[in-house]
Amino acid sequence: MMNTQIILANRPVGVPGPEHFERREVPVGKPGEGDVLIRVTHWSVDPAMRGWANDVPNYSPPVALGDPMRSFGVGEVLESRHPDYTEGDVVHGLFGWQTHKISDGSEISRKVTETDLPRSYALGIMGLNGVTAYFGLRESCAAKAGDTVVVSTGAGAVGSAVGQIAKIMGCRTVGIAGGAEKRRACIEDFGYGAAIDYKSQDVGGALAEACPDGVDCYFDNTCGPISDAVMEHLALGARITICGTAAVTDWNPTPMGPRVHRQLLVARARMQGFLAFDYADRTEEALAALAGWLREGELTVREHFLDGPEAAMDAIGMLYRGENTGKLIVRV
């Protein structure tokens, strides 16, 4: 039995593309005492993977050349010699881009028990994306009913969850996304009160119209010119959550932008970096809420599937080019 891997073959600067990866087939080993053998069926594609592939200081060490690309995945247990897992269990974890993973359990983040929902949800709304949206909005942004909440990448995997949770919480929601189709999705699929297409609209003017009382919460996945425009419209006491920086592909050297100090001072606003891992001990709380909303039909999820291992090689590039139409997942 062979394990198909997509390995990091060259160190990228910026967004990794097909030229940085290679397909490799290696024999699937035998799980030792205490191990489980997992057939990984779905690989996740997330913006943070750009940082994992680059050799720059980050909140995770870079992936070693020759290793399967680091990624979250979901799969089922084929064989277990671990007391906590049984054949047939569905598990989620940091399994990398490979079809088979032998783990001592340390890479498994959780057993997927909500078997009434699609397994792939564990990579998105019932995984890091949903948990990120939940805590980023409720804790870091400290959103409350009546707030005007602006979300960049408003139709994205995290952003669409932020917008919908904010609406459930009683906030006014404004989504920013690129292109007419994503703008349509913001309004029609994800229920934003207003949506802005940054590719065809003047973001500043559209924000002034959509947020007459200013922006209370800005959930930022982009950095760059979109964020610069939002910063011009802060309400007093605004909270800005920096969750991602998709518009900036290279941080070496640090790119320049308008200084935010005076905007923060005048609005007594706060700007805060956010990583869902810091709320790991409260994951169950978020998953229970998300599963409840999904079952009640209050959360709409869009997934974009690619098929076969080779499709992974350009998948991070697709994300950064904005070509995906939902949570990007490789089925293998």
- Determine, following the binding rule CB under 8 A, whether residue 280 of this chain makes contact with a second copy: no
What is the residue type of 60?
Answer: S
Rounded to whole angstroms, how far apart are CA atoms 241 and 239?
7
What is the residue type of 145?
Answer: A
Take residue 327 and report the two structure tokens written for it. 């949570």
Rounded to whole angstroms, how far apart are CA atoms 289 and 277?
18
Residue with Cβ nearer a second copy (2 or 266): 266
Residue with Cβ nearer a second copy (255 or 308): 255
Which of 117, 88, 20, 47 lies closest to 327, judged by CA? 47
- Determine, following the binding rule CB under 8 A, whether residue 61 of this chain makes contact with a second copy: no
Q: Report in angstroms how near the CB of residue 318 gets to a second copy at its nearest.
A: 22
- Determine, following the binding rule CB under 8 A, whether residue 145 of this chain makes contact with a second copy: no
Residue with Cβ nearer a second copy (109 or 249): 249
75 burial via Cβ count (<10 Å: 0-12, 13-18, 19+): buried
- Determine, following the binding rule CB under 8 A, whether residue 261 of this chain makes contact with a second copy: yes
Site string for a second copy, 154-193 (x = CB under 8 A): ----------------------------------------
Take residue 73 and report the two structure tokens written for it. 């995945």
Take residue 332 and report the two structure tokens written for it. 């293998």
Q: Which of residues 223-242 bind a second copy (CB under 8 A)?
A: 223, 227, 242
Residue with Cβ nearer a second copy (89 or 147): 147
Take residue 296 and report the two structure tokens written for it. 């009640």
- Determine, following the binding rule CB under 8 A, whether residue 210 of this chain makes contact with a second copy: no
SS3 289: helix
Return the residue of 211, 269, 299, 306 that touches a second copy, per CB under 8 A: 269
Rounded to whole angstroms, how far apart are CA atoms 239 and 144?
11
Return the residue of 104, 251, 305, 318 that touches a second copy, per CB under 8 A: 251
Return the residue of 23, 81, 110, 270 that touches a second copy, per CB under 8 A: 270
* # binding residues, a second copy (CB under 8 A): 35
Q: Residue 285, Cα to own-chain centre: how many angstroms?
A: 19
Which of 231, 264, 218, 225 lies closest to 246, judged by CA? 225
Return the residue of 10, 58, 113, 200 that touches a second copy, per CB under 8 A: 58
Q: Report in angstroms how near the CB of residue 175 gets to a second copy at its nearest.
A: 20
Q: Report in angstroms how near the CB of residue 263 gets to a second copy at its nearest.
A: 8
Rounded to whole angstroms, how far apart are CA atoms 146 and 170?
6
Q: Which residue ranges make up the site for a second copy (CB under 8 A)?
A: 57-59, 220, 223, 227, 242-245, 248, 251, 254-275, 278
